[in-house]
Structure 1
Amino acid sequence: MGRSVLVLNSGSSSLKYALYSLKQKATCIAKGVIEGIGSPKCSITHRNLQVEQNVKMQGSAVKDHSSGLKKVLELLRLDKGHSDTVFAVGHRVVHGGEQLTKPALVTENVKKAIEKAVPLAPLHNPSNLEGIRVAEELFTCPQVAVFDTGFHSTIPPKAYMYGIPYSYYEELGLRRYGFHGTSYEYIVTQVAKHFEKPRKELNIIACHLGAGASLAAIKNGSCIDTTMGITPLEGLVMATRSGDIDPAVFEILESSRKMSIGQISSVLNKESGIYGICGEKDMKTVIELSEAGSEKHTLALQVYIHRIRKYLGAFYLHLGGRIDAVVFSAGVGERSSIVRHMACCGLELLGITLDKDKNQADGDGLREIQAEGSRIKVLIVPTDEELAIAQQTLEVVNESHA
């Protein structure tokens, strides 16, 4: 067996990757992304973390995922001092449907199940499958699929069922699935270690706030509810996604704007959210322009926060108020003290009180930012989805050899 795990996240026109050395514990030694595959504007960003060397290339000729992965291998082999061979490849797969709820060795049956879930994730699963197929051609080592939806497989029917004809669930699998599962898996593991308590005794509300955003209610270490649904569109207002919306908007826009279902879906996914309200996707810029007096940017921030607090309150009730911590993670959750402050403001009666200085202080790694006397702790936990995939890949391969 070799001494490294390669993690791949294959998108429709992108390929993210990270290489983990297994000499002692899983340690990231290189990572990068190829964007704009098949486009003249294709770019490659590669980081060698062993020697802090960065490589950036614009206008690279990467015509497809196969040539992209070959370029990745070329870059990894150029890393000074890197002689590890790949022992396993871990793939991020967005949707596993109801059939695939745990990380799994890739087999023909697993690939068929991923393909079966394509209608539930038409923008993601085909690309994820392409990444698997390309990797199978280039590697002889085990391939493992890790599913974004897997962490949420413990959600009970009362939380995942929609109020629609039951036959739609039976025949089409229409139900809440949830996403960001690898991030939540990592968060739970880190918080349990921090509190030095068994995972099965851990109750938290986890807030994954990035360009895509969601919340999860986690009871006894398992998810009991989450904000995203069949797809990542449902739930919170996000950078470009609308989040919860009345389905009647489809009929209204079809009638008044003569838009197709595909066009409306594209708008709700790519031109809505805070971007749709104020024309800006980056939360830091939204906050800066809000503070400068822009009414639209202030409104976008208020709508964004309102939806977070709405679900925060709902999940507080789901957990009966017996909560160890509220956790903020991902880009916005980790970096924006203002978003954390606004989300938690006025929740003292619920036992949640932030410490102003701790919340605003710079820092790395997991840290507590609640005020002294706060019944519920408030944590910042930098997420590492690639590491979570690498660790789960190792577990699956080791179990298969046991």
Structure 2
Amino acid sequence: MNILVLNVGSSSLKWQVIDTDEQCFADNTDRRVARGQVERIGGEAVWSFRAGDGESVKGTAPLRDHRAAVEFLLQWLVGPEGGALGSLAEIGAVGHRVVHGGERFVRSVGIDEQVLRGIEETIELAPLHNPANLKGIHAVRAVLGAAVPQVAVFDTAFHHTLPERAFLYAIPYSLYRRHRVRRYGFHGTSHRYVSYRWRQLTGTTREAQRIITLHLGNGCSACAIAGGESLDTSMGFTPLEGLVMGTRSGDVDPAVLDYIAQKEGLSLAEVEMLLNKQSGLLGISGLTNDMRELLAEAREHDDRRARLAIEIFCYRARKYIGSYLAAMGGADALCFAGGIGENAPAVRAMICEGLEFAGIQVDASANAAHVGREGRISPEGARTEVWVIPTDEELLIARDTYRVVHGIETRY
């Protein structure tokens, strides 16, 4: 079955068409039919599409809204330039990444009017993301019609297994009861994929699994996973909490917000924007939020603030690893994923420095050899293995969509 996977942002749209079914689940023969992205929706949009393993084609087009973007990509899919599908009738279902499911959505679900209302009710928890996700759902319905099944796959769903001691904040309990202020966690689809893939690679049963996963990209999060379930994660009520990220501060004393507001003459909303958009690697270095550029600056020019940004990034990650080792009583593996986790051996090595006491070591040659590819980078016989596992959220969304449409139970 061809599944169209959509990841919709406020002015962007990333997509893939993946051919999958139960046999593909078993032997990993899912096929990428086509993929691409559209940026700057609302004006002269920039697009980049690719059919199968062919070369990417790029261009611009005046796309006024998300419906126009969906129409454009579908026309390309069946048109002479793309030609990845013979007709739109070959799309069996559409799977959507939806950022926030609150406490209501604990697994992937078929989209109907009730689900749409539920996603709308969580907008106040994800005001930047869920409205865009809804635009994608409505755009598909308008273009392909209501008969084509659509499925919502929630970033927060994997973390619904967090125990109360992990998801509750030490604030008045009434705030949780009245407003559901708690840790929700994000990047759940990525952590879930890495968890599944590690079990597949090592032949470990779900029940025996005990690992720590690090999704390190422009957004970063850590997750403690035991028995195939999320036990704790670094992102919280919003994606701002936890690790140092590209432009997000991660953990910070809450009193800092009021202090900065008073000293800088900013509103609370402006301080929150500062912590989300001007902090992290960018804020510390004063240069960039791109780890590749920071590593180059540190290596070629010995830039002090670039080095400092990298050190703080790695130190914070190392602290979270230590806390999760304590929470689970150890781990069998540490798994790196995400753009930085998959492609920056130097960062992986720095994060693992000093963790030898926990049996975590990195083999230098294996680490250097695994850039953007899957494999173990710890020495043979290491007590706690270290892995690089490139994440594949789109594949998991496609598979979940197939399962929901065909009534197959999805185990989180």
TM-score, structure 2 as length reference:
0.93
Q: Which residue of 2 aligns with 1:310?
A: 319
Q: Which residue of 1 aligns with 2:72?
A: 71
Amino acid at match of 2:74: L
Report if the CA contact (8 A) 1:188-1:199 is conserved: no
Residue 232 of structure 1 aligns to a residue whose secondary structure is coil
Alignment of 1:140-159 (within 5 A): 140-159=147-166
CA distance in 1, matches of 2:304, 2:292: 16
- CA pair 168-81 structure 1, distance change in 2 beyond 3 A: closer
Q: Is the 8 A contact 2:214 2:335 kept in 1?
A: yes
Match of 1:299 among 296, 302, 308: 308
Q: Is the 8 A contact 1:274 1:280 kept in 2?
A: yes
How far apart are residue 385 of structure 1 and its match?
0.7
Could you tell which deviates more after superposition, 355-364 or 216-225? 355-364
From 331, 349, 356, give the equivalent of 2:357: 349
- Counting only pairs closer than 5 Å after superposition, residues 236-247 of structure 1 correspond to structure 2 as 236-247=243-254
Contact 1:203 1:220 in 2 (8 A): yes
Q: Which residue of 2 aligns with 1:61?
A: 62
What whole-Å deviation, never above 9, does each CA across 1:25-51 have from its counterpart, x for those lacking one? 3311111111111134x211111124x
Partner of 2:328: 319
Report the alpha carbon displacement of residue 248 of structure 1 after superposing the two structures with TM: 1.4
How much has 1:188 moved relative to structure 2? 1.2
- Matches of 1:72 and 1:364 in 2, distance apart? 27
Q: Which of 12, 15, 21 is the equivalent residue of 2:13?
A: 15
How big is the alpha-carbon RMSD for the aligned residues of Structure 1 and Structure 2? 1.5
Counterpart for residue 112 of structure 1: 117
- 2:133 corresponds in structure 1 to 128
Asked if 1 retains the 8 angstrom alpha-carbon contact of 2:20 and 2:402, the reply is: no
Of the structure 1 ranges 238-247 and 362-371, higher mean CA displacement relative to structure 2 is found in: 362-371
**Gapped regions of structure 1 (runs ≥ 5):** none
Letter in 2 for 1:75: W
How far apart, in 1, do the equivalents of 2:332 and 2:17 lie? 34
Does the 8 Å CA contact 1:13/1:37 hold for their aligned counterparts? yes
Q: 2:51·2:84 contact (CA, 8 Å) conserved in 1?
A: no
> More displaced, 129-138 or 116-125?
129-138
- Secondary structure of the corresponding residue to residue 201 of structure 1: coil
Q: Quick one: percent identity of the two aligned structures?
A: 41
CA contact (8 A) 1:200 1:222 kept: no
Whether contact under 8 Å (1:333, 1:380) holds in the other structure is: yes
- 1:161-240 residue pairs with structure 2 within 5 A? 161-240=168-247
> What secondary structure does 1:17 align onto?
strand
Aligned-partner SS, 2:56: strand
Contact 1:175 1:229 in 2 (8 A): yes
User: Which residue of structure 1 aligns with residue 42 of structure 2?
Assistant: 38
Instruction: Kindly provide the CA deviation profile for residues 272-293 of structure 1, in whole angstroms up to 9, marking residues without a partner as x.
Output: 1000111211101111111221
State which drifts further: 25-34 or 6-15: 25-34
d(CA) in 1 for partners of 2:51, 2:188? 27
Structure 2 counterparts to residues 372-391 of structure 1, below 5 A: 372-391=380-399
CA distance in 2, matches of 1:284, 1:367: 21
Whole-angstrom distance in 2 between the partners of 1:48 and 1:200: 39
* Counterpart residue number, 2:27: none
Q: Return the offset for 1:83.
A: 2.2
Q: CA deviation at 1:53?
A: 2.9
Q: Which residue of 2 aligns with 1:396?
A: 404
Deviation at 1:374, TM superposition (A): 1.1
Deviations 1:215-241 (A, max 9, x none): 000011111000000111100000001
CA distance in 1, matches of 2:168, 2:66: 36
Alpha-carbon spacing, 1:341–1:363, altered in 2? closer, same or farther (3 Å): closer
CA contact (8 A) 1:66 1:134 kept: yes
Amino acid at match of 1:183: S
The answer to whether structure 1 residue 87 and structure 2 residue 92 are counterparts is: yes
Offset at 1:364?
Answer: 5.5
Return the alpha-carbon distance in structure 1 between the equivalents of residues 258 and 208 of structure 2. 46
Q: CA deviation at 1:362?
A: 4.1
Please list every run of at least 4 consecutive aligned residues from structure 1 whose deviation after the TM superposition is greater than 4 angstroms: none
1:261 & 1:218 partners in 2: Cα distance? 35
Structure 2: which amino acid aligns with 1:14? S
In 2, are the aligned partners of 1:12 and 1:127 still within 8 Å (CA)?
A: yes
Structure 1 residues 302 and 383, CA gap change in structure 2 (3 angstroms): same
| Paired positions, count | 395
Matching of residue 289 in structure 1 with residue 297 in structure 2: yes
- CA offset at residue 395 of structure 1? 0.8
Deviation at 1:319, TM superposition (A): 1.1
1:110-134 deviation line (CA, Å, top 9, x unaligned): 1111111111111001111111111
**Runs of 5+ consecutive residues of structure 2 not aligned to the other structure:** 25-29
Q: C-alpha distance in 1, partners of 2:35/2:179? A: 37
CA contact (8 A) 2:2 2:20 kept: yes
